[in-house]
Structure formats: structure tokens, C-alpha cells
Amino acid sequence: MACVLGIDIGTTSTIGILISLPDQVLATASRPVVLSSPHQSWAEEDPEQWWHNVCELIPELIETAGIDRNDILSVGVTGMLPAVILIDDEGRVLRPSIQQSDGRCGKEVLEIALEIPESEFIKKSGNGINQQLVAAKLRWIEKNEPDVFSKIDTVFGSYDYINWQLTDEKAIEQNWALEAGFVDISTWELSDDLIALGHIPRTAIPHKTISHEVLGNISERAATATGLPIGIPVVGGAADHIASAYAAGISNPGDVLLKFGGATDILIATRQAVPDPRMFLDHHLIPGQFMPNGCMASGGSALNWFIKTLAIGEREAAQAAGLSLHQHMDRISGETPAGADGVQIIPYFLGEKTPIHDPDARGVIQGLSLNHDLRHMWRALLEGFGYAFRNHIEVFNDMGHPTTRYLASDGGSNSRLWVQICADILQQPIQLLSGHPGSCLGAAWMAALGAHVTEDWNGVTRFVQYGDKIEPNPVNAKLYDQEYKRFRNSYKALAAVQRGKST
């Protein structure tokens, strides 16, 4: 049985999928990943753990699917972006990866902003001067870990690192390069000047590849470690959020994906590249198209924090009802009115990325009175992310990207309350998906295209079905308009206070 393999190097787990075309999932498997935060705003992982997970996952997938390993025709890898992995000239990992949610390099971002006008940088790189830039992270290492910095031979991303382990070929995928701030969008090629902002040799950045392009073949070493056949092709891979949106069917201009994961993402399909400092610019996996997007630093992670620190006393009641704590909080919070009776939460618990790019922002609970309890706060937390989604939609529209269709994916979309709240705040219907295994599916389809197992760019959508469509409640429109304005005004006032405190 001919099949292809997709691997997702995720923030909380490494996931593998084996698919057979046209529409059959043969097996999935996962292994946990440890996220470390040794200091405030730091987020790090061990790349060697990712590789160890991959080596464990692949034999399990082959056994579960009941196939011969030679049935696997190609491999695609996806991962979070832009994680930063550093290796020396002997192929050793120099330090833990610096994750995309890491916020340590605020000073270095300001340094770059003083060296080059942001308008000039945006025009050249397509992205703003923010903490997503790899150059800022490299400058932090240069200052704080000079011994590490002096040994850097290669800089690349999470899925680039796994591709190298699989093939012995060093390359960076185009969206890692673009969000890293290393691509000149007038030519769509790597820029020596932009790379130089990271104070590293030009040779430290490998050549650029694209998602469905074959970059190498499984080496003898990797075949021994993973059980894969020697010599099968490995494609360039993909950024996880782009791969997930592609697999969900976000392909027509105006299609929007609300991604309810550990972080909350929002992505829109377009045929035009419109650089804007408020959002990230990425290539769509379909050649010639683009996928501007935003990422909020928290999402499901903030809900998990709430459950662990505030709602743990509800465990017995949840168990008695046969529900998880998340489901229990949804059920009891559904009894509270829209607007949470005046309670509002600004969910910037890890600082915030798009569209405000404010690493100093923090989570805020406001409007509490003695008549409020956990139900109101849980609903306010869900509403906070709905307001943040609305902020992104306004920016997309301001950039000239009309929004026409909304889909929802990832674990948080299983919360009917959360999706209904977002539909009410946006006053737009939201289409739920079922059977979407995540980014690994998009990576597997890139592998199928690269190995010419298929030529059908839209065939990936056969794996994903539509669930219910959540319609907005027009009764809540006026209230949520008012509460959204309050949300934005509160953040602006608090940001001014924070700026005054810093000065």
C-alpha cells in the first residue's frame, strides 16, 4: 500500500501521520515535548528530544498501519515558526531552541529599530521589526552567551533541523526565512544585508527551499535510526500554522481560519502580499498565493492556567457530571450572560504578539464585584480571545483583505461556548471542522506533491469534513460592540501606565 508520512514538530508534542491517497489516514502517533521557561518570558525546547521522538514515532506508525516500510514513498515535516536552532561545525546542538513565543529580546528589537527605519525594513522584508525576528534573538545570544555565539555554524528552524537529521542536507524553508526577516520581498531571495543584522556570517544561513520541493533523501544513518527506507525523498516542509490552514481548506481569498490551539492563531488566504507591521506575512503552500496571519501568545495555555490555578476546586463537581474541568467550566459559565456581567479579561498573559507587538503587556481581570464568581471569569476569558480575534479581523480589513468565510480548528474549537462567543463577537457564522488531524496532514500532502504521488493541490481537503456551523446571535451584537471598545480602550490605557512605569 503506497503512502506518505507527515511529521509535526509541535510546541507540546511531536505528531506523526501516515496517509494513503486519496483520503485514508492509516495511523497517527505522538510523543510529548517538554517546554522550558528558566526565566521570565523565556521559552525553550530540546531539539534532540524532537529527533528522539521522531525516531520512536515512525516505527510505531509503521506497525500500527500494518504496512511494509518500503510502502512509504516520501516524507514532509512541519513545525512551529520561527524557532531558532543553532548547531556547530560538527553538527552538535549548541543550546536549547529559542521558541517563537520567547520574549527575551526586547532590547535587541529596539536596537534594530534604531539602526533601520521600520518603514524601510517592512518594505524590504515584508514583516515588521518585532520579537519574531531571528536577528534579534541572535543578538541576544551574542551579548549573553558569547561562547555559544562564537561556535555557530548553522542557524535554522525546527522542521529544518529534522530535515537535516533525515537527509544530512541543510536548508531553510521559505516561510521560516520570511518570518525570520531574512528575505528581500522584491526578489523573494535571501538578503545578505538582512542576514547581517544578526551579526552572523552569511554562510550560517543555508539555502532556501519551498514546501513541496524535494531537498534531499533519507540517509543511511536516518534509515537506521527511524526505520524509513533509504533514499526516499524529503520535501522542504512547512510552517505548522500554514500547513494546518491549508489542510483545513483555507485557499480562496477571504477564507479565514480561527485556530484554537495552545496559542490562538488567525490566518487569511490572499493572492496579494501586503506588508504590514501589525501582522506576519507568509507564503501560502499553494504557489503564488499568500497567507497573512496573526498569532496571540496564549490561548488554550491561558485556559489551562485558569483551570490549574483557579478552578481546581471544581474537580469533584466535574467528575460527578462525567466532564473534564474545561467542559464543566463551559457548562456552568453558559449560565452567565453575554459580557460576563461586566467582568472582562485581557488575555495578554505572555505579553502579546499581533497585532500590538507588546512584550510588556500582561493579563488583566477587571470589573470584578462581590457578586461575581468563577463562572463569570471563565466566560470573560473566552470573550477576551474573541475580542482579540476581532482586533485582527479589523486589521486584515484595513490592510485590504476582505473576510468572507470563517472556519475553526484545533482542540479549543470543541468548546461550543467558546466558538459561539467568537461568532457573536464577530457577528459571523463559524464553520466547525471534523477529522482534521492538524499540521501533520498538510506536511504529508506536501510530501505527496513533491514525490509526484499526486498533482491535486486541493486533494488534501478530502481528509477533513465539515461539522456544524455556529451562527451568531444578533441579540448580542450591540453589547459585544460596546465591550469590544472597552477591551481596546482598557489595553491602551494600561499600556500607557506601563510605559510610564518603564520610564
User: Could you tell me which of 160, 156, 147, 163 has the C-alpha nearest to residue 195?
Assistant: 156
Q: Residue 12: its pLDDT value, please? A: 82
Sequence-distant (≥ 6) Cβ neighbours of residue 357 within 8 angstroms: 128, 130, 131, 277, 278
- Looking at residue 452, what DSSP letter applies? T
Smallest CA-to-CA distance from 81 within 264, 277, 274, 239 is with 239
Any idea which of 67-76, 97-106, 282-291, 361-370 has the lowest mean pLDDT?
97-106
Q: What is the pLDDT of residue 297?
A: 86
pLDDT at 95: 98
Whether 334 shows a pLDDT value over 80: the answer reads: yes
Query: Could you tell me the three cell numbers for 350?
Result: 505572555
Q: Residue 76, Cα to own-chain centre: how many angstroms?
A: 17
pLDDT band, residue 502 (cuts 50/70/90): low
231: phi then psi, degrees, rounded to nearest 5: 90, -10
**Residue 213's pLDDT band (boundaries 50, 70, 90)?**
very high
Share of the chain above pLDDT 90, in %: 88
Tell me what the mean pLDDT of segment 171-175 comes to.
Answer: 98
pLDDT reported for residue 65: 97
Does an H or E element contain 308, and which? helix 300-309
| CA dihedral sign of residues 168, 156, 446, 244 | positive
Answer whether 151's CB lies under 8 Å from 230's CB.
no
CA–CA gap between residue 108 and residue 85 (Å, rounded) = 18
Among 446, 479, 485, 441, smallest CA distance to 463 is for 441
Residue 501's pLDDT is: 66
Least confident of 32-46, 215-229, 363-377: 32-46
Q: How confident is the model over 31-57, as a mean pLDDT?
A: 93
pLDDT for the residue numbered 435: 86
| CATH topology for the 3-241 domain | Nucleotidyltransferase; domain 5 (3.30.420)
User: What does the buried/exposed string (b/e) look like for 308-346 if buried means 16 or more CB atoms within 10 Å of the residue's CB?
Assistant: eeebeebeeebeeeebebbebbbebbeebebbbebbbbb
- Whether the per-residue pLDDT at 503 is higher than 60: the answer is no
Q: How far apart are CA 287 and CA 362, in angstroms?
A: 38
Closest CA relative to residue 186, chosen from 275, 113, 315: 275
- Predicted pLDDT at 102: 85
State the pLDDT at residue 492: 96
Quote the DSSP letter at residue 473.
Answer: -
89: amino acid identity, one letter: D
pLDDT digits (tens, 9 = 90+) for 403-420: 999 999 988 999 999 999
Written as nine digits, the cell of 307 is 483551570
The pLDDT-based confidence of 1 (bands split at 50, 70, 90) is confident
The single-letter code of the amino acid at 168 is D
Query: Bridge-partner residues for 79, per DSSP?
Result: 9, 239
Q: Is the peptide bond before 355 cis (omega within 30 degrees of 0)?
A: yes
3-state secondary structure of 90: coil
Indicate if the pLDDT at residue 499 is higher than 80.
Answer: no
Q: How confident is the model at residue 261 (pLDDT cuts 50, 70, 90)?
A: confident
CA distances to 151, 316, 387, 402, 429 from 132, in Å: 23, 42, 23, 25, 32
Residue 38: alpha-carbon gap to chain centroid = 22
- Does residue 289 carry a pLDDT above 90? yes
- What integer best gives the mean pLDDT of the chain? 95
The better pLDDT of the pair 130, 222 is held by: 222
Looking at the predicted structure, is the pLDDT value of residue 26 above 70? Answer: yes
- Average pLDDT in the 420-428 region? 98
Beta-bridge mates of residue 16:
7, 29
Q: What is the pLDDT of residue 351?
A: 86
* 330 closest CA partner among 313, 346, 347, 314: 314
| Interatomic CA distance for residues 14 and 8, integer angstroms | 6
Which DSSP string corresponds to 97-163?
EEPTT--TTHHHHHHHHHHS-HHHHHHHHSS-SSTT-HHHHHHHHHHH-HHHHHT--EEE-HHHHHH
User: Across residues 263-275, what is the average pLDDT?
Assistant: 95
Rg (CA), the chain: 22
Q: How many residues does the chain have?
A: 503
Give the C-alpha separation, 449 to 460, whole Å: 10
